[in-house]
Structure 1
Amino acid sequence: MREVRASRGQGQSPSGIGTLDLSWVMLLMYVLAALELACLFMQFSIMPYLSRRLGLDSVAFGYQQTIFGVLQLLGGPVFGRFADQRGARAAFTLSFLASSALYLLLAAACSPALPGVALLFASRLPGALMHTLPAAQMVITDLSAPEERPAALSRLGLCFGVGVIFGSLLGGTLSSTCGIQCPVIVALVVNLLGAILSFTCIPTSTKGASARAQASLPGKPKASLLDLKAITCLLLQPGVLPVFLVKVICGFPSGLFMVMFSLISMDFFQLEAAQAGYLMSFFGLLQMVFQGLVIGWLSGHFSEGALLRASVLVFSVVGLAMALMANVFHFCLLMPGLVFSLCALNVVTDSMLTKAVSASDTGASQCC
């Protein structure tokens, strides 16, 4: 496919790619995001059971999950700048190769003949470069007009829901019927396929000519991937820092809960792997409904600021109520409010950040 060359507002529209080809590029973004998320949630569904089988307690499990989260946090800005400088094809290929390395190490950790605990912790390291969803958000941002962006990003929530549903179901079902190593091997094969599709089918760059010219102005030095000054300048642009802080402050507890949810299901709710998969599938179904349908409708009737304030308020109320829940039924009652707040927060902040930065920095704004 040829590179994207024309611009449409701040979002970039292809002139070198026909309308039909553009539709295929967008569809491929959704498919790749759904595949990566399905594999990720297959991993989440088996991690506490694998950790318990290797002799790790809840504290050690928390450490290795924290390592994964910290590496994702630190690797996000670097990956975002890599995507902006090297293009969508390189970003997707790198992300899927990193995911493949993670699942390869995880599969080795399942073998009784190898040092499982060391390999389990080593498998967290490639997580620093696993950012397929932000890369998809960058491409959708590049290819959509600003007024269409909230709806386009909300449709990406359908992929998240599909990934949660099928990943959780497959992870619990395959581990129960074929062994705990089976979901990891399936995830490894799927991510290798994703790397091949990324390298062969994704355009080299989805940014328009104006964005590329802006990134390479005459006499302007090319910033490196680890240029902290450039990242700081990006955060200090008007309208970026307040939205970024809201995203981080609200995203930290939700991210911590999602990472530890499998352990909560096993120890607090006393669920088996298949039952935990069913519960996560319910979460994914709600995610599809809210982010794929409800948020898109609300964005057409309310301002982004109003939706952001509503999501923070609902998230705060649900967080307080979760501290009082006693069983899985209480959690199911609270889940619609939790999913609405997460969906609204992610879609609105992503849309506001991409509108506040230049077209050449959409990848960094998604990964920060």
Structure 2
Amino acid sequence: MATSASDTPSASGRNVDMVLWVTYINIVLYGLCFQLQRPVEPFLVKSLSEGSDSAEFTQTYGRLQSFFNAVQTIGSPLVGILLDQIGIRNASAVVFGATALSYAMLASATDMNLLFLSKVPTMLQAAFLVAQATAANVTGDDNAARARALGRMTTAYTIGATVGPALGGHLASMGDLYFSAKIAVVGSLISVVLSILFLPNSTNVKGDDDTEKKTKENEPKKSFLAAVQHSLEIAMRPAVWPLLTVKLVGGIVASMHGTALPITLTEKLQFEPSQLGISMSTSMFVIAAFGAFCMAPLARSVGPDGMASMGLVGRALMGPVFAAIVAFVSGNGQIVVMQVALASVLHALSSHCLATGLTTQTTGAVNKEEQGTLLGLEHCLFSLARIAGPTLGTTLLSWSKTGSLWYVEGACASADLLLNIFLFATTSSTRLGGKLKQN
């Protein structure tokens, strides 16, 4: 059994601890910088498309989200391959450098064309992918340890993401829609420096023996085409493709919900940027605490497949709750904000369990040297899902004459329940096939 970070010899253990702590800091900064923009973006789109009616604003916002995710769909597998080719340190520096460039362009976007153009460098904005690959490499074959490490990586992200929406919304409410992007440039450049100074130059952070090191050094590097072909072979493995299918369809569902909700809260309930930011930050805070203290016990008690199933059911239940809040309340008072925040917490926890459960299973189904490529595939599929998701979400939202969420959340809940059935059927089939082979 592979050792966890706490079980490694002292010298190696100190190295692992340093790598993880620097990665945590980078992900805190990444979460802060990214989430600073979330409550601001709908208002920035509205400002730059002045004169557009509500329907045009909704479609423009949806197209922006789809374009962003189309760019990331191209970039995510490239970063996964890049990670396996040039190592953690260099990949991390490239990722945060591209992120800083994107925010610098966003801070200068004075029309919609420039706003769309600012999303192009996000092709390489895959910091969480690099962090996940680092955590998976350190923990080896121990599912519980991997779930704990991935959960804590998510905790690191949500620490920054808890502060980000509230701070971004507050800054936007003061009248400057670009100040948060300027802060994000500085935060991203700090991560570039930390990556260069403290992260290892390969994915071998645990210190393999000399024989294994020499073997790896003597292995010829795959060409880019060979690496792409190998990633497709990984995706088609019986133990992997059903999980990636759930990632893809589940990502479409998450994107439909995530696009329609802020539009509805902004247009129907007249939420201010600060109120939208508070509801987002509340759910992030709870996820941070959950990932730090509850993820490992949950993984041990129900297993990663049970976590994924719980997440799908939880999302299916909470979606209609959002629709009911929008349909039956009015105004944007404190009670309504609290209701939205509570529903957001429960929905986000469900999505967190789903994502961690799936990633724990997929990273455990491949070799360590394939984990970067595998995670690149996951992020690619998630971004691919978010190309279709915003358009589907805004289309269903436009069908509602009253601006309610029932069409969107009904479709999302139905899809999540069907995914749960599919996941149970395919994982049961895989296990049965494995037992037959053993016999």
- Contact 1:216–1:222 at 8 Å: present in 2 too? no
Match of 1:187 among 173, 176, 184: 184
Match of 1:35 among 29, 34, 37: 29
- Contact 1:295–1:343 at 8 Å: present in 2 too? no
Q: Alpha carbons of 1:40 and 1:257: their partners in 2 closer, same or farther (altered >3 Å)?
A: farther
Correspondence for 1:59:
59
Distance 2:265 2:356 in 1: 27
Correspondence for 1:4:
none
Distance 1:318 1:215 in 2: 48
Correspondence for 1:170:
167
Deviation at 1:213, TM superposition (A): 7.0
The within-5 A match list for 1:1-368 is: 8=2, 18-55=12-49, 57-110=57-110, 116-147=111-142, 148-177=145-174, 179-207=176-204, 209=208, 222-224=222-224, 227-259=227-259, 261-326=261-326, 327=329, 328=336, 330-368=339-377
- Contact 1:212–1:360 at 8 Å: present in 2 too? no
Q: Alpha carbons of 1:347 and 1:145: their partners in 2 closer, same or farther (altered >3 Å)?
A: same
Distance 2:135 2:264 in 1: 34
Distance 1:85 1:285 in 2: 35
Q: Alpha carbons of 1:260 and 1:183: their partners in 2 closer, same or farther (altered >3 Å)?
A: farther
- Contact 1:162–1:284 at 8 Å: present in 2 too? yes
Measured against aligned partners, the alpha-carbon deviations of 1:109-135 in whole angstroms (never above 9, x if no partner) come to 14xxxxx22110101111211010111
Q: Alpha carbons of 1:246 and 1:119: their partners in 2 closer, same or farther (altered >3 Å)?
A: same
Letter in 2 for 1:135: V
Distance 2:197 2:4 in 1: 27
Deviation at 1:47, TM superposition (A): 0.9
Q: Alpha carbons of 1:221 and 1:151: their partners in 2 closer, same or farther (altered >3 Å)?
A: closer
Deviation at 1:290, TM superposition (A): 2.6
Distance 1:234 1:216 in 2: 23
Measured against aligned partners, the alpha-carbon deviations of 1:324-361 in whole angstroms (never above 9, x if no partner) come to 44255553443343122211111111111111111111
Q: Alpha carbons of 1:214 and 1:352: their partners in 2 closer, same or farther (altered >3 Å)?
A: farther
Measured against aligned partners, the alpha-carbon deviations of 1:121-151 in whole angstroms (never above 9, x if no partner) come to 1011112110101110100111113321111
Q: Alpha carbons of 1:29 and 1:264: their partners in 2 closer, same or farther (altered >3 Å)?
A: farther
Counterpart secondary structure, 2:286:
helix
Unaligned runs of at least 5 residues, structure 1: 1-6, 111-115
Measured against aligned partners, the alpha-carbon deviations of 1:139-170 in whole angstroms (never above 9, x if no partner) come to 01111133211111111221232122111121
Distance 1:268 1:144 in 2: 46
Distance 1:212 1:259 in 2: 46
Runs of 4+ in structure 1 off by over 6 angstroms are 13-16, 210-217
Letter in 2 for 1:283: S
Counterpart secondary structure, 1:146:
coil
Larger-gyration structure (1/2)? 2
Distance 2:208 2:85 in 1: 13
Distance 1:216 1:229 in 2: 22
Counterpart secondary structure, 2:39:
helix
Q: Alpha carbons of 1:21 and 1:343: their partners in 2 closer, same or farther (altered >3 Å)?
A: same
User: TM-score w.r.t. structure 1 length?
Assistant: 0.88
Distance 2:62 2:304 in 1: 35
Q: Alpha carbons of 1:64 and 1:50: their partners in 2 closer, same or farther (altered >3 Å)?
A: same
Deviation at 1:235, TM superposition (A): 0.8
Q: State how many pairs are aligned.
A: 356
Deviation at 1:8, TM superposition (A): 3.5
Distance 2:99 2:256 in 1: 20
- Contact 2:284–2:345 at 8 Å: present in 1 too? no
Q: Which moved more, 1:31-40 or 1:292-301?
A: 292-301
Distance 2:140 2:230 in 1: 25
Q: Alpha carbons of 1:336 and 1:52: their partners in 2 closer, same or farther (altered >3 Å)?
A: closer
Distance 1:154 1:225 in 2: 33
User: TM-score w.r.t. structure 2 length?
Assistant: 0.74
> What is the CA RMSD across the aligned residues, in angstroms?
2.7
Letter in 2 for 1:50: L
Deviation at 1:217, TM superposition (A): 6.8
Counterpart secondary structure, 1:204:
coil
- Contact 2:162–2:285 at 8 Å: present in 1 too? yes
Task: Give me the identity figure in percent.
Answer: 23
Distance 2:289 2:318 in 1: 19
Q: Alpha carbons of 1:363 and 1:321: their partners in 2 closer, same or farther (altered >3 Å)?
A: same
Deviation at 1:203, TM superposition (A): 1.0
Deviation at 1:322, TM superposition (A): 3.5
Distance 2:177 2:92 in 1: 28
Structure number having the greater helix percentage: 2
Q: Alpha carbons of 1:192 and 1:151: their partners in 2 closer, same or farther (altered >3 Å)?
A: same
Correspondence for 1:3:
none
Unaligned runs of at least 5 residues, structure 2: 51-56, 330-335, 378-439
